[in-house]
Structures are given as C-alpha cells and as structure tokens.
C-alpha cells in the first residue's frame, strides 16, 4: 500500500527518504487541472484508502469477502467503497452534461434548418416551374436542372459556414482554454463540419429537385 503526498498539502513526514522509482505523469484529477508533483510513500500509518483490483467475473464474491474481513477486524466505522469508473464519471460529470446539452441544441438547430430548407425548396420549385420548363424545352437535361437547383441552395449554406467559422473558432477556443490539456482546433474540423452541413442541405432539397426535373416541359409551360 502506498500513501500519496501532494505538493503544498503539509502531509510530508520528516525524512530521510529513499527514492526507489519514478513513474511517468498520469491523471489523478480531471483534465481541468494540471498534473502536479506527487510523491508516494510505503508508510502504512494513517492510510484510509485501499485500492483493490477485482476480476470482473468475481466482483460480488470478492466484495462479500472484503466485508467479512472488515467485520472480523472489529472496525466500528462502516466500510465505504466506490469503483474507479464511478470516480472518473464523477470527475467528468459537468463535461458530460455540457456535451449532452450541446448535442440537444445542435439536434434542434439541425431539425429547424432542415424544415426551413424543405419549405424553401418547395416554394422555389413552385415559383420556377415555368423557368425550368423553358430550360428543358431548350435542351437542358435532367441532371442540369438538378445541379441548378442544388447549387442555388448550396450557395447560402456555404456563405453561412464562412460567417460561422470565426465565431465557432472563438467560442471553441475559449471553451478549450478551461482545460489544462486539450486538442488544438485544426482547419479540417471546420471543413468537415461544412461538408456535413452541405450534405444535410442537399439531402433535404433533393426530393423537390428531382420532382421538378422529371416534370414534362409542356406541363411546366402550362403551369399557372
């Protein structure tokens, strides 16, 4: 059993001490905190925490055996225990809630945007029925009509992404600064987000584009 001493805690005992090994840095707290100097001692006095590695198939039996040993030792204090995954979950509970909140807001925003694009594509297809009929009668192919309509909706999506990039970079950079260790924002992340937004927009309006492109020119020219 090893006891952990942190710098500035006042928990050091007077030496001398013999250093028997050095381990690489590793996290004991959430990534909000920097890794501070930590020393481990083999003194057993004053230890109140025991780390036990359990086999997944024998957890209930092992816990019951630990309880029996605790009762045999005659301890009056109740035995409290927690699992490592629970401890880690508690450390990152606020981050988990933030991610769930942002995911919910993003989902709502995507649904609203898709509904708006769907309505706009239906309105545009209705307004440009005669124009498309004339284009087809002049020799335009179905693929040309689809490209025309898709490009019409792709342009505002691309402009919106260009406007959103600086704001997204500023907000994400400020949020990441709250962590002692974090990833760096790379250009490919913004390009990937823009590509995904463009795919969602195209998937939303492709139905109306195909419907208009398949219409017969004579029907479109007679449209009132």
Does pLDDT of 141 surpass 60? yes
Q: pTM of the prediction?
A: 0.63
Q: Where are the domains of the chain?
A: 1-51, 53-89, 92-221
pLDDT score at 2: 43
pLDDT score at 10: 46
Nearest-angstrom CA–CA distance, 135 and 210 = 15
* Element (DSSP H or E) covering residue 66: helix 59-72
pLDDT score at 101: 92
Place 216 in a pLDDT band, splitting at 50, 70 and 90.
low
**Mean pLDDT, range 31-60, rounded to an integer:** 74
| DSSP single-letter state for residue 81 | -
Does pLDDT of 97 surpass 80? yes
């Amino acid at each position: 059993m090893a006891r952990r001493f942190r710098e500035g805690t006042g928990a050091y005992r007077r030496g001398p001490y013999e250093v028997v090994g050095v381990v690489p840095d590793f996290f004991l707290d959430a990534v909000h905190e920097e890794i501070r100097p930590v020393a481990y001692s083999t003194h057993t006095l004053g230890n109140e925490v025991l780390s036990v590695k359990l086999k997944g198939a024998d957890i209930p039996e092992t816990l019951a055996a630990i309880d029996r040993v605790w009762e045999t030792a005659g301890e009056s204090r109740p035995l409290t225990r927690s699992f490592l995954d629970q401890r880690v979950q508690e450390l990152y509970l606020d981050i988990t809630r933030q991610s769930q909140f942002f995911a919910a807001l993003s989902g709502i925003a995507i649904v609203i945007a898709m509904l708006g694009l769907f309505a706009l594509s239906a309105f545009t297809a209705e307004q440009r029925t005669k124009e498309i009929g004339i284009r087809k009668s002049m020799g335009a192919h179905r693929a040309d009509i689809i490209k025309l309509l898709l490009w019409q909706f792709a342009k505002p999506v691309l402009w919106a992404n260009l406007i959103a990039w600086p704001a997204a970079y500023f907000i994400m950079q400020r949020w990441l600064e709250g962590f002692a260790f974090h990833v760096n924002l790379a250009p490919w992340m913004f390009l990937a987000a823009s590509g995904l937004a463009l795919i969602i927009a195209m998937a939303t309006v492709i139905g109306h584009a195909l419907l208009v492109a398949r219409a017969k020119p004579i029907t479109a020219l007679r449209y009132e």
